[in-house]
A = this chain, B = another copy of it.
Amino acid sequence: MNSQTPAGTLGTNGVVVVDPKSIPDVQSLRDTRQIPIDKVGVKNVVYPIRLKTRDGGEQTTVATINMYVSLPHEQKGTHMSRFVEVLNDHAEAITPDEIPDMTRAIRERLDAADAHFEASFTYFVRKQAPVTGMPGMIDYKVTFEAVSSADGKEDFVLGISAPATSLCPCSKEISQYGAHNQRCEIEAKVRFDGTLWIEDLCEIAERAASMQVYAILKRPDEKFVTERAYENPKFVEDIVRDLALTLEDDDRVTWFSINSENFESIHSHNAYAQITRDKRDQ
């Protein structure tokens, strides 16, 4: 127990407001352990965000957000409530190009050498069925990972995860008829220069599969996607290689880490392949 006693005036909700200056600031105490901390902050903050879309519109979605700063060895604790305050200040329209500003704002408000901002959320893109043109909505998982450093270094990684269809070339080749196929999840994380929309990266990723998936398929569409997947068999290795080729050729992309996880219809485990390349090394 301790010696704190409430003292002050009535605040909102009719409670006694204590003068904040009279309350000890434990976090600001000096720490003597000589251990700096790489990242400290808040994790799994669920928050609504509004994003600009490629077609000039806007989209509101639900993000799970982590915000961290580095902490020098002599400081006992960070001020956790300030992270969410920065989020409140920037909530009106978070777009990929505003993430660096927000990450810088975290660094400044927390008076830190480095700040990290991470968000993951569902992003919807309208897509028409391939034959009938029926409209539908595909949900992609998107991630932002940003770093801002006091020395001016900034970093931003955009990630997407796109569902798609993979059809096994071996199964097709060795079987009299049919071929096992399955949903796969293609993930692409990129560093880039210039403008790269979420929509751009989703399209690039799903073009590497045997076939795209759709929200609505009428019978002529189902015939089309079935036949196209059969005509376009790909191992999990082929998917990541074809995606790597496209990203190698895209001048905006300076670094990429891509993978595909195929939920094999003939096994209870998954097939997986992964490639990471830093084009700046070349």
Contact = CB atoms under 8 A, between A and B. Distances in A.
Interface of A: 1-2, 4-6, 11-13, 15, 17-18, 20, 23-27, 31, 33, 35-48, 59-62, 66, 68, 71, 76-78, 80-81, 84-85, 88, 121-122, 124, 128, 130-139, 163, 165-167, 169-183, 211, 213-220, 222-227, 229-230, 235-238, 240-242, 244-245, 259, 261, 263-276
Nearest to A215: B84
A251 to B, nearest CB: 18
Contact of A171 (B134, B167, B226, B235): B226
A124 to B, nearest CB: 6
A204 to B, nearest CB: 15
Given A18-B223, A170-B219, A33 B241 contact: yes
Given A175-B227, A182-B181, A170 B27 contact: yes
28 contacts: A4-B173, A12-B128, A12-B133, A15-B131, A17-B131, A18-B131, A24-B173, A26-B170, A26-B174, A38-B274, A39-B272, A40-B236, A40-B273, A44-B270, A60-B60, A60-B61, A68-B274, A71-B273, A76-B238, A84-B215, A174-B226, A175-B223, A177-B227, A178-B227, A180-B222, A183-B264, A217-B267, A226-B266
Interface of chain A, helix or strand or loop or mixed? mixed
A268 B215 contact: yes
Copies in the complex: 4
Contacts of A174: 4, 23-24, 26, 219, 222-223, 226
A76 B45 CA distance: 35
Contacts of A59: 48
A20 B220 contact: yes
Contacts of A275: 35-38
Nearest to A84: B216
Contact of A84 (B15, B71, B136, B173): B136
A241 B139 contact: no
A241 B15 CA distance: 27
Given A17-B220, A47-B137, 13 more contacts: A11-B133, A12-B128, A23-B220, A37-B273, A37-B274, A42-B269, A46-B269, A84-B269, A174-B223, A178-B226, A180-B222, A182-B263, A213-B265
Contacts of A216: 81, 84-85, 88
